[in-house]
Structures are given as C-alpha cells and as structure tokens.
Amino acid sequence: MQKLYMEEGKVTRQEFGIMLEKEGKAIYTFCRQLTDNRDDADELYQETMLIAMEKCSRIDGKGNPKSFLMGIAVKCFKNQRRKYARRQRIAPQNSMDEEQYALHIPDAGLTPEEQYIAEELCELVRKEIAQLKEKYRLPVYMFYSAEMSMEEIARALHIPKGTIKSRLYTARTIIKEKLEEYGYER
C-alpha cells in the first residue's frame, strides 16, 4: 500500500494530488449539494481545491484531510453567498431557474408504480433538505452524502460534536414532520 503522508503528518503537494484522487469525488458531490447547480458546484469545487492546494502544508495528514477539505468548501460557500447577497443589495438581478438534477433510484425489483413512488419520495426529501436552515442542512449533507462521522463534521465546521448530534436530530425531525404532512408515514 502506498504511503500517503509524510512522517511529521503534513501533506506535500504530491501527496495532495493522491489525496485529491481519493477524496475529490466526495468533495465535488458535497459542493453540488450545497449549490444545487452544476456550474456553481464546479466553481465552488475549484475554489476549494485552489485554497486547499495553497494550504496543503497545513493539512494534518494523520488527522482527517477530508474534514479539512469540507471545512474549506463550507467557508468558500458562505463567502460566495455573502458576496452574492451584497451584489443583490447593490444591483438586484432576477434569479434564473436553477438546474435541477434528476434523482434515479436503481430498480430493485420494484414495480413501475413503486419505482415512481420511491423516486417521488427521494425528490421530496431532497427538496425538504434544501429548505432547511443552513445550520441543519450542512451537517445533513456531510453526514449522509459525504459519509463523514460526527467528529469529522464537528472539526470541519468548528463546532462541538454534541451540537452536530443535536442539529442532525432536529433536521431529521423537521423532515419527518414535513413528510407526514405530505401523507408519508413510516
């Protein structure tokens, strides 16, 4: 197995490339979920990787570089949103319809009707997650999509692990209540 990190725990540029191959897809998927738009996700991903490359000597290779990269992505996303809000206050523009990406459930022996209902439910959950406040939405994306542990999320967002647990619980409760309003029960 190839040794990924240097002895002292800091990542070199060459090792950063290896890390990028390993974690890049998860980071891009996370950017896509944050922005809900392919072009914005591409821009966020590129900005995240540029900043990470500049700071690669500060990445602790013995820790979890994925949480470090996710933390950079979150900071870049928040900065982009602040810049957009500032521009909108100065010179408002009509927002264009965001590209919606289709969600496809693999056929697991479901009837067409069951397949449609499963896809509809997933789309509904995705929309409800997108409606959550950012403080709930980010941990949900990081936990379920990026498959990060609560400790990793806490490090990336610079908040206590207990706060992450609480926010995930609250997010699940909100989504469950919304689904019950739509008539879905578990």
pLDDT tens-digit readout, 88-100? 777 666 544 433 3
Instruction: Choose one of 100, 135, 155: the last residue of a domain.
Output: 100
Instruction: Choose one of 100, 127, 153: the last residue of a domain.
Output: 100
From CA 157, how far away is CA 160, in angstroms rounded? 9
Do 67 and 115 reside in the same domain of the chain? no
> Domain tally for the chain?
2
10 or 21: which leads in pLDDT: 21
Say what the pLDDT of residue 4 is. Answer: 42
Do 48 and 120 reside in the same domain of the chain? no
Confidence of residue 175 (pLDDT cuts 50, 70, 90): very high
CB atoms within 10 A of CB 88: 11
| Spacing of C-alpha 90 from chain mean position | 29
CB atoms within 10 A of CB 155: 21
Question: Could you tell me if residue 1 is inside a domain?
Answer: no
Do 90 and 11 reside in the same domain of the chain? yes
Paired tokens of 132: 């959550």
> pLDDT tens digits for 24-81?
898 898 899 888 889 989 999 999 988 888 887 777 666 677 888 888 899 999 888 8
Question: Could you tell me if residue 2 is inside a domain?
Answer: no
Confidence of residue 6 (pLDDT cuts 50, 70, 90): very low
Say what the pLDDT of residue 79 is. Answer: 87
- Give residue 46's domain range: 7-100
Question: Could you tell me if residue 114 is inside a domain?
Answer: yes
Say if CB 78 and CB 156 are below 8 A apart: no
Instruction: Choose one of 100, 122, 145: the last residue of a domain.
Output: 100
Supply the angle between the helices 65-90 and 13-35 in degrees, to the nearest 10. 50
